[in-house]
Amino acid sequence: MKVLGVETSCDETAAAVVTEQGVVLSDVVQSQIDVHAKYGGVVPELASRAHLTNVVPVITEAVNRAELRFDQLDGIAVTCRPGLAGALLVGVQTAQALAWSVGLPIVGVDHLIGHLLAVYLQHPGLEDSAKPELPYIALLASGGHTALYRVTGPQPEQIHELGATRDDAAGEAFDKVAKMLGLGYPGGPVIDRLAKEGDPDAIELARPMARRDSLEFSFSGLKTSVARHIKKHGLPGDDQHLRDICAAFQRRAVDTLVRKAVRASRVTETPTIVLGGGVAANGELRTRCAAAGAKHGIRVIVPPFKSCTDNAAMIAYAGTKRLALGHDDTGVLTMNTKTCLPRVTRKGGGRRARP
């Protein structure tokens, strides 16, 4: 089975062809970083317009790189949730039109499920990570989502959320702190690079939910702590001060991600942790999570950088799992800005709003 995946949930126009075994035959991503950089974040209207321009050429290139014709594909998978409404609509409508014109089945894929299964992708010529056995704990940390899941299978009903952020996602916090410091967008890679030469203990910042045993996250307090430091001391006047702020912020953000991932593994007696999402490309998170896993006897699997950031290969692979069961969303495929994965229920029966 060879499936075309289409991904337009945020600011990456992507298409890929993947087999049901996870072998990536092609993987094309058209970034919009230059479009949004001067605004310090993603502008939804501009993202939608860029997708309109890019989506057909990107899909065509993905099929050509796989050395296939459209009628040689076995199906199409497209991100249908969650994401920016206009951006999702471009991908869904394009994929539906293509499926109808070629006579292919089409399935909608939850973007988060794509991230949770990205660890199974096999990129030819690239050293891939080990493949986890089920079940496993997944720490999904990205610009729009931060949550812990217990994954027992590839279908939505086999993925259970254990805890998520109450406010900012981890990647969002990185980008906002970078904007405060004048480091540009996206901020995560810049902070990660500067933090390597900084002292994480030189500046006292809030430690997110340090005394809480829950599996939920909160990064707004840490972000506010950085803002207060800047208000009191001004923007860094020298390079070392800047590196120290980056190191202090990153250390505390990574601390809470690692600590809660390990706790989720231990309380659910699930001996494997898999990292996913764009923040999983962070060097300190990868190193510290591996060290914590070794300390507690937990297997930690980190996919290659290419599989962590938004891509269509993960969407295509997740789509193969639905197509293999005979699913076909032709005529009923719709898009939604919210994920289909379950929410955490707080004590007392109340449900928190999903970010």
Per-residue model confidence (pLDDT) at position 213: 78
Burial class of 269 by CB neighbour count within 10 A (0 to 12, 13 to 18, 19+): exposed
Per-residue model confidence (pLDDT) at position 169: 93
* pLDDT per residue as tens digits for the range 3-45: 999 999 999 999 999 999 999 999 999 988 888 988 888 999 9
Q: For residue 235, how many C-alpha atoms fall within 13 Å in the half-sphere facing its CB?
A: 7
Q: Does an H or E element contain 191, and which?
A: helix 188-195
Per-residue model confidence (pLDDT) at position 351: 38
Gap between the Cα atoms of 175 and 33, Å rounded: 13
* pLDDT tens per residue across all 355 residues of the chain: 999 999 999 999 999 999 999 999 999 999 888 889 888 889 999 999 999 999 999 999 999 999 999 999 999 999 999 999 999 999 999 999 999 999 999 999 999 999 999 999 999 877 766 899 999 999 999 988 999 999 999 999 999 999 999 999 999 999 999 999 999 888 999 999 999 999 999 999 988 887 667 899 999 999 999 999 999 999 988 999 999 999 999 999 999 999 999 999 999 999 999 999 999 999 999 999 999 999 999 999 999 988 999 999 999 999 999 999 999 999 999 999 999 987 655 444 333 433 3
What are the domain boundaries of the chain? Answer: 2-125+307-323, 136-302
Sign of torsion over alpha carbons 317, 321, 324, 329: negative
3-state secondary structure of 325: coil
Closest by CA to 260, choosing from 223, 301, 212, is: 212
Answer whether CATH 3.30.420.40 is correct for domain 136-302. Answer: yes
Per-residue model confidence (pLDDT) at position 100: 96
> Tokens 């909160």, residue?
218
The DSSP code sequence of 249-297 is HHHHHHHHHHHHHHHHHHHTT--EEEEESGGGG-HHHHHHHHHHHHHHT
Gap between the Cα atoms of 199 and 6, Å rounded: 42
pTM of the model: 0.92
Give the CATH number of domain 2-125+307-323. 3.30.420.40
The answer to whether 55 touches 84, Cβ cutoff 8 Å, is no
Q: Which residues contact 71 (CB under 8 A, 6 or more apart)?
A: 102, 103
Whether 2-125+307-323 shares its CATH topology with 136-302 is answered: yes
Beta-strand runs (E) in the chain = 2-7, 12-19, 24-31, 75-81, 106-110, 136-141, 146-151, 159-164, 272-276, 299-301
Gap between the Cα atoms of 127 and 197, Å rounded: 28
